[in-house]
Amino acid sequence: MKIETTRTDAYQLFHSGVIALSDVEKRGIRIDRPYCRKTIAHLSARTGRMHQKLLQNEHVKRWQKKEGSAFKLASNPQLAKYLYQDLGLKAPVTEEMEEETEFKKNIQLGPVDEAALRLHKMPWLMEIVKWRKLKHAADQLDEIMREQVGGFLHPMFSLGGSTKDSSVRSYRSSCEHINFQNKSARDREMAELVRRAFIPRKPTNVILEADFKGLEVGTSCCVHHDPNMISYVKNPKKDMHRDQAMACFLLAEDEVSKPIRHVGKNGFVFPEFYGSYWKNVAPAMWRMIEEMKLELVSGKKLKAHLKEKGIPDLSRFTRHVKGVEYEFWNELFNVYTEWKNEFWATYLTRGYFDTLTGFRCSGVMKKNAVLNYPIQGPAFHCLLWCLTQLNQPMARMKALIVGQIHDSLLCDLPESRVPVVVEMQRETASVKLPKHWPWIIVPMKLEWEVTPPGKPWWEKRELVQEAL
């Protein structure tokens, strides 16, 4: 049995992938142009009113009087200068302060991202956040209308880099004209405004999104072979996000509500996997407790519970999360930690590393990149291989793949074809993919969401398999 994948295999994957993605680009995604025009006009009027109101704010007037120039609501350097230099506010600790981003290089004073502005608890800053979000949504819809042709948007999905960024070093895909992969659903209001623009080709068609469940976590198991993490992935009764919520908030299993589990997942587990650490994780989780008004299953306030447990404030919570993190990496997933240490040391000696799918990453890279690329790349390659296998068979059934977002496929198809397409995709991901790459040692599973016929992408809902 062939386990190791060569660079010839890697080339063949990208060769087939480029051909399949060219089909995806040619098909395009249908755009609701009347909705876009109406929403752009509405947002333009709304943000205009907000802009005029903000210009009358005492802080803005103070800036203009002192500087003798207009206050630009979209200017991060200007806002940072006013908050941390003129007002003398203390810069909150956020993840942006730890990363060498363009923001840090240009501003130096303190963060002005949404998370940081919320920490200042100043109403006018929240108005600026709201204005920026709505302005960004209007800009995205405007970009969609500029790029669409005949009611269809044709994003360019590239492998190995784009015309704007020639080095996608993890060998994931990129996208431009427009960046369809950046139309995320993290901010609910933004997501609704933008995703309502994407609709099926026909009134009888639906948009079906097939999403790999825990793709990067599963792929990481194939890389480091940590038995505890493999157990979490293979055993459906085990729940890593719930367990870490229990540890972070000192809860029993039956006390963990769905929102608290969400914070365990997105506030602790994911940041830890992607290179963050307790100094950034704890403040973000504490902020989520406040913003989401988290409660136990019993209805008791989470902060009241933590106070009873001897954690009344952020300082003590941060020390507690530091201990949880230590146990997470040095006891629960110690094999993963050993792999990271050994892999980093080997990279420092060689200056390169090879992925499970046969690609070689070389050159100067940060530690986080060296530890993430061997997982991110092969995870996307699992999706890409499935796309190459499904592209033509689905097209013959009038079921078209019209987009991809690293770990999910977006499909436009007649409602009647959904059951057979779902089964085809399930067999490809769960049966054929592990046979193609025997290094896959954990189950690869898909989850599906589907829209009602003729309805926009935003209205997708979980597909109930028993109903098929």
Q: Which residues contact 364 (CB under 8 A, 6 or more apart)?
A: none
Cα(254)–Cα(304) distance, integer angstroms: 17
DSSP secondary structure string for all residues of 141-168: HHHHHHH-BTTEE--EEEES--SS-S--
425 compared with 117, residue with greater pLDDT: 425
Peptide bond into 375 cis (omega under 30): no
Query: Which neighbouring-strand residues pair with 458?
Result: none
Average confidence score pLDDT of the chain: 90
- Mean pLDDT for 192-207 is 96
Q: pLDDT of 202-245, one tens digit each?
A: 999 999 999 998 899 999 999 999 999 999 999 989 999 999 99
Judge contact between 217 and 273, C-beta under 8 A. yes
Note the pLDDT of residue 94: 52
Q: Which of 23-32, 116-125, 267-276, 388-397 comes out lowest in average pLDDT?
A: 116-125
List helix spans (H) across 359-456. 367-395, 418-427, 433-436
Note the pLDDT of residue 153: 96
CA distances from 78 to 71, 118, 145, 400, 453 (A): 8, 18, 31, 47, 47
- Mean pLDDT for 183-190 is 71
Q: pLDDT of 99-136, one tens digit each?
A: 444 444 444 578 888 878 877 888 999 999 999 999 99
- Mean pLDDT for 428-453 is 96
Cα(157)–Cα(159) distance, integer angstroms: 7
Note the pLDDT of residue 184: 54
List helix spans (H) across 29-75. 33-55, 58-67
- Pairing type for strands 360-362 and 400-404 reads unpaired
Q: How many residues does the chain have?
A: 468
- Mean pLDDT for 68-75 is 85
* pLDDT band at 139; cut points 50, 70, 90: very high
- Mean pLDDT for 312-331 is 96
- Mean pLDDT for 356-380 is 94
Cα(34)–Cα(141) distance, integer angstroms: 11
Which pTM value belongs to this model? Answer: 0.87
What element of type H or E holds 441? none
Distance, first Cα to last Cα, the chain:
36
With a pLDDT cut of 70, the percent of the chain lying above it is 92
Note the pLDDT of residue 96: 44
- Mean pLDDT for 419-435 is 97
- Mean pLDDT for 318-329 is 97
Peptide bond into 260 cis (omega under 30): no
* pLDDT band at 20; cut points 50, 70, 90: very high
Kindly tell me if the per-residue pLDDT of 3 is higher than 70.
Answer: no
Note the pLDDT of residue 186: 64
Q: How crowded is residue 423: how many other Cβ atoms within 10 Å of its Cβ?
A: 11
* pLDDT band at 467; cut points 50, 70, 90: very low
Cα(75)–Cα(137) distance, integer angstroms: 17
Cα(144)–Cα(124) distance, integer angstroms: 30
Q: Which of 15-19, 271-275, 342-346, 361-365 comes out lowest in average pLDDT?
A: 271-275
Strand positions, DSSP E, 52-202? 152-153, 156-159, 173-176
- Mean pLDDT for 262-284 is 92
CATH assignment, 33-147: 1.20.1060
User: Residues spanned by CATH 3.30.70.370 within the chain?
Assistant: 7-31+160-217+374-467
Q: What are phi and psi of 211, to 5 degrees?
A: -120, 130
Cα(392)–Cα(412) distance, integer angstroms: 14
Kindly tell me if the per-residue pLDDT of 367 is higher than 60.
Answer: yes
- Mean pLDDT for 173-185 is 77
Kindly tell me if the per-residue pLDDT of 23 is higher than 80.
Answer: yes
User: Residues spanned by CATH 1.20.1060 within the chain?
Assistant: 33-147
CATH assignment, 7-31+160-217+374-467: 3.30.70.370
- Rg of the chain on CA atoms, in Å: 24
Note the pLDDT of residue 105: 44
